[in-house]
Amino acid sequence: MRKTSITLAVLVFLAAFLGAAYAENHHPIFTLSKEKWGTANTANATFVEDGQNVIWRTSEFFRYATEDGGRYQLGAHSVFGEVVFKAYGVYDKDGQRTSSWFQVEKDGKWTTVENGGISVDAVRDENKKITGFTVSLYKDGKTLVTREMKRK
């Protein structure tokens, strides 16, 4: 009897865990082909070094109009030329965000979280010169993955 209840508890846990992972990656927002997204705009983030503006992040924003009058929005953010994190949002016809997901790429794998967040911090050397940035994905106050991008 004890072995059966442990087995059932493990199966219930796995079903809940796998169900949550499936839900976070299988919203229609993730299956839209690139051709369906319309470009909204592009923005650069810079810092000044030796009197020069240095672009460290380029953000491209895309939109897709939904049939119910709402929209999907995607922000793809490149750090030093490589797409490292993405933010997705679902908005209703009144422009209110109803859902959001964040992704960070590390070692070729994208980690996705619903209703979490991203933090980006500068990495500096002993002379306070920016040598890179860390990008962290978090949810409920817990860091799930951190990626450091070194300056090229």
Q: Where are the domains of the chain?
A: 2-150
Side chain identity, residue 111: T
Q: Are 84 and 149 in contact (CB under 8 A)?
A: yes
pLDDT at residue number 30: 84
Work out the angle at residue 108's Cα, subtended by the Cα atoms of residues 107 and 111, and round it to the nearest 5 degrees. Answer: 90
Locate 24 and state its tokens: 């976070």
pTM over 0.85: no
Residue count of the chain, please give it. Answer: 152
Percentage of the residues of the chain whose pLDDT score is greater than 90: 58
